[in-house]
Amino acid sequence: MSTFNLDRFRFDKKPAATANKEQGCDSKSPESEKENKPGKNMFSLTLCFFVFKSKVSDEEYNEHCWEKQEAMVRRLQKEFPDQDKEELRMVLQEHDWNVEDALQVLQMFSYPGVNTTAAIYSLFALKKTTSSSQKPSSSSAAQMLSRFASGTSIAKKQAAESKRKARASEEHVSSEGENDDEDTLSSEFEDSDDELDFKGGMTDIKNEIVKFFQNASLDELTLISGCSIKKAQRIVELRPFDSLQSLVEVLHKNNGLSEDLLLGCRVVLRERKVVLGLMSNCETISSKMVKQVTEVMQKGTGSMKQPCILNSQFQLKPYQLIGLKWLLLLHEHKLSGILADEMGLGKTIQAIAFLSQLYENGIKGPHLITVPASTLDNWVRELKLWCPSLKVVVYYGKTHHSAFFLLFISPVSGLFNRYNLAIGNDSDRSLFRKLRLKYAVFDEGHMLKNMNSLRYRHLMAINAEHRLLLTGTPLQNNLLELMSLLNFIMPSMFSNSTSQLSKMFSMVRKSHEEQSPFERDRISQAKLIMKPFILRRVKSEVLKQLPAKEEKVESCSMSKKQQALYQTLFKKLKASSNGEKRELCNVMMQLRKMANHPLLHRQYYTTEKLKAMSKLMLKEPTHFDADAALIQEDMEVMSDFELHQLCQQYSSISSYQLETDLLLDSGKFQHLTELLASLKKQGDRVVLFSQFTMMLDIVEVLLKHLKHRYIRLDGSTPIADRIVLIDEFNTDPDIFVFLLSTRAGGLGINLTSANVVILHDIDCNPYNDKQAEDRCHRVGQTRIVQVIKLISKDSIEDGILQLGQKKLKLEQDMTAAEHGDEGTIPEDMASLLRASLGL
């Protein structure tokens, strides 16, 4: 794991005032006064960080404070043995190292297991006259609260008394030592004015709770344990709450609501404080890096040379040298980074240059590079080309035939691994946990943007000293993603809080308007913190010589038959749809298929035809003993094109094959026929993407019909064959079209020999299309790249296009589709569908 020393870093880098608070030392003590003189302490702290600790007195002083803090943490640990030590430390920090305040808050708001009723009584200093399950009468609640609010000494005493009783009522079995402590603490509570300093901590808590109930959105209210959406709505209806008193009365009086919600609210507020605390710690580290990173960027490359062991036939471009410098700077500070250059700018090359530089500096690995299957061969090739002296081993995992490690050259410097294998099975995972790696590099790192995912947890468990993430996706306004990446950069900072964080942010896939002010503020803060750890350059900035990319949307009228079928399908779906999201997903898919090609549905092969065909199938030697009814059942779920393919496969039903006219009957095909002819005439070469592999099958029919040479790569193409196909296309100019499925061909493939990208059908997630477009628009392209999107006129695709364009503009979360959102669609898409279906 990271060698980053959290405590020393944090301690050394805090501004003097905060640092003293953290140390739990009396700020009025002569030493601290001395150390608090402006400038002096800052200077010594900075020195501590850069030149190691040079002043013995500082060390002693810090040690003394540290011990004091530790004693406080231990005291809390006795009371809360189940609580995480770091959390206790955090609570103490939150309360300026006042043990009593921290104890009070922990006591009242600890997680499940706590006697909540007692805690509520205790929180609001309500006298507990009845059994713990009974609520006080509203008048007694009001009475006690008014005393509580008045801050008189009687109220203080009563509050202390009831709190003590409440604490006593908790069935907490303590050891003798703990009892001693408790007694001491109890008497301290009674005697101490601090404990009931209503102007201080308690007033803040009260105000925060009232503010939350008054201002929180419905979503935020439902974060409170036990607060359903109905209860949240009720709370909103019952607003305003101008004081805790009115809030408690309202909760008490209203059936369905209860004072327990106050406790739950405190838990939510506390979790938010944890996030705030974490982010502020990250901010400290970040601000230190900003200066140095800015320097790297401003100074440019200077006399910097690329690593000597890089193939001298290749020269890193100036911005790539800067990228290398930045990576080395992060390495120096033992921090992880995210290289997020736009697709095609050479992230692979920069990562290779970086590992080469490390090699030259004596850090020879082993490193692990985790890549998607489709880019594995490309990586191996680039490594061999750019830095043949790095020894590479490809790890295929135990499941891959008999090979465990596929050894290219030994000993090991870089290890390759595919994403699925890194999370594959227990023994693969345990191997990667055991390996003592220097660097773990993750290519296409948007796979690591969801800390809730299993993949994220497994990959984070890989035992590497440093990590580097490569991604072409820009940062999104999504708090879960930002926190996941922050956790990736500074894992030691988040150590035990990931579950809390993921719980808090698991439902924050929202538009800007839907985000709460808290979320919006944290998003801005996270982006600011991450600035020095993310390097993103776009092509327009750094590749002045890269030819332009021209994008065109070509609207294709559906063929007559197709239009009629689309309308019939639309009416049918409209009549049957209930507007539920999962169902709408299916509706959308049906409409998209029809808008692209009618043969993706079944209408020509009627039930009668299928009956006849299934009987004929019994003549096949493979099916002579089958049941015709079962064959028919299978056929009924197939599309027309699949059935046509079946007829091509079996001679007994070959007469049922579809006519060519029917196979080519789609609006987009009519358009494509003319488009391809004119492109060919101009000497252009084409990469054509589709979402549906079956659509690619039908496009193949068209290309054969038009006598265009083509090759094809999709998810079923064996990994080893992929690079061969790519090379074939890049070296044989007679191949006019490269057919690719968007998902398989969208990532990491270089097809700069083509200058036209046709998106036969667009993806709901515009980022996937952008990935696809950039296969041609990258370093090495010499011609203007044309991107042509085919859209079926007056169909669902019009709406998908508009939403996609809006999303790209707003930089909303475009990687959502990759995070297990299968079988559902984004809310904006669902609204669009509901509106067009008139639901």
Ligand X SMILES: Nc1ncnc2c1ncn2[C@@H]1O[C@H](COP(=O)(O)OP(=O)(O)OP(=O)(O)O)[C@@H](O)[C@H]1O
Residues making contact with ligand X (CB under 6 A):
314-317, 320, 341, 343-349, 382, 472, 748, 750, 774, 778-780
Q: Is the dihedral of CA 304, 309, 312, 315 positive or negative?
A: negative
Strand partners, 417: 370, 395
Q: How far is the CB of 257 from ligand X (least distance, A)?
A: 52
Quick count: other Cβ atoms within 10 Å of Cβ 478? 26
CB 770 within 8 A of CB 798: no
Q: Give the neighbor-by-neighbor strand order of the sheet with 337-339.
A: 405-407, 392-395, 414-418, 367-371, 437-442, 464-470, 337-339, 534-535
Cα(374)–Cα(719) distance, rounded to whole angstroms?
Answer: 7
Tokens of 299: 């100074």
Between 264 and 472, whose beta carbon lies closer to ligand X?
472
Q: Which of 526, 441, 438, 532 is nearest to 484 (CA)?
A: 526
Between 220 and 443, whose beta carbon lies closer to ligand X?
443
Q: Which of 816, 663, 693, 681 is nearest to 760 (CA)?
A: 693
> 3-class secondary structure for 316-362?
CCHHHHHHHHHHHHHHHCCCCEEECCCCCCCHHHHHHHHHHHHHHCC
Interacting residues of 798 by C-beta distance below 8 A, sequence separation 6+: 791
Between 472 and 532, whose beta carbon lies closer to ligand X?
472
Between 344 and 397, whose beta carbon lies closer to ligand X?
344
Between 324 and 526, whose beta carbon lies closer to ligand X?
324
Between 341 and 519, whose beta carbon lies closer to ligand X?
341
- Where does residue 732 rank: exposed (0-12), middle (13-18), buried (19+ CB within 10 A)? exposed
- Helices then strands, each counted (H, E), the chain: 40, 14
Cα(411)–Cα(33) distance, rounded to whole angstroms?
Answer: 58
How many residues make up the chain in this entry?
A: 839
Q: How far is the CB of 465 from ligand X (least distance, A)?
A: 23
Between 307 and 472, whose beta carbon lies closer to ligand X?
472
Q: How far is the CB of 382 from ligand X (least distance, A)?
A: 6
- DSSP class of 114: B
CB 78 within 8 A of CB 177: yes
Q: How far is the CB of 544 from ligand X (least distance, A)?
A: 15
- The amino acid that residue 653 corresponds to is I
Between 62 and 350, whose beta carbon lies closer to ligand X?
350
Quick count: other Cβ atoms within 10 Å of Cβ 34? 12
The residue assigned the tokens 């503020």 is 521
Q: How far is the CB of 473 from ligand X (least distance, A)?
A: 9
Q: How far is the CB of 2 from ligand X (least distance, A)?
A: 25
Q: How far is the CB of 750 from ligand X (least distance, A)?
A: 4
Between 598 and 748, whose beta carbon lies closer to ligand X?
748
Q: Kindly give the interhelix angle for 153-169 and 116-123, rounded to the nearest 10 degrees.
A: 170
Between 263 and 340, whose beta carbon lies closer to ligand X?
340
Between 195 and 443, whose beta carbon lies closer to ligand X?
443
Between 182 and 382, whose beta carbon lies closer to ligand X?
382
Q: Which of 315, 394, 389 is nearest to 355 (CA)?
A: 389
Q: How far is the CB of 344 from ligand X (least distance, A)?
A: 5
Q: How far is the CB of 566 from ligand X (least distance, A)?
A: 36
Quick count: other Cβ atoms within 10 Å of Cβ 544? 7
Between 384 and 708, whose beta carbon lies closer to ligand X?
384
Q: How far is the CB of 774 from ligand X (least distance, A)?
A: 6
Q: How far is the CB of 771 from ligand X (least distance, A)?
A: 7
Q: Kindly give the interhelix angle for 796-810 and 827-837, rounded to the nearest 10 degrees.
A: 150
- DSSP class of 407: E
- DSSP class of 753: T
Q: How far is the CB of 804 from ligand X (least distance, A)?
A: 20
- DSSP class of 112: B
Between 652 and 752, whose beta carbon lies closer to ligand X?
752
- Where does residue 545 rank: exposed (0-12), middle (13-18), buried (19+ CB within 10 A)? exposed
Q: How far is the CB of 529 from ligand X (least distance, A)?
A: 24
Between 87 and 341, whose beta carbon lies closer to ligand X?
341
Q: How far is the CB of 527 from ligand X (least distance, A)?
A: 21
242-274 burial, b at 16+ Cβ within 10 Å, e below that, comes to: eebbbbbbbbbeeeebbbbbbbbbbbbbbbbbb
CB 210 within 8 A of CB 247: yes
Q: How far is the CB of 298 from ligand X (least distance, A)?
A: 22
Q: How far is the CB of 462 from ligand X (least distance, A)?
A: 21
Q: How far is the CB of 780 from ligand X (least distance, A)?
A: 5
- Ramachandran region of residue 344, left (φ > 0), alpha (ψ -120 to 50) or beta? left
Long-range contacts of 58-67 (CB under 8 A, 24+ apart): 61/31, 61/35, 62/11, 62/23, 64/25, 65/23, 65/24, 65/25, 66/23
Between 343 and 464, whose beta carbon lies closer to ligand X?
343
Helix (H) or strand (E) holding 786: strand 785-792
Q: Give CA angle at 794 (789, 800), nearest 5°.
A: 50
CB 593 within 8 A of CB 602: no
Between 93 and 741, whose beta carbon lies closer to ligand X?
741
Tokens of 400: 């891959």
Between 320 and 515, whose beta carbon lies closer to ligand X?
320
Q: How far is the CB of 716 from ligand X (least distance, A)?
A: 22
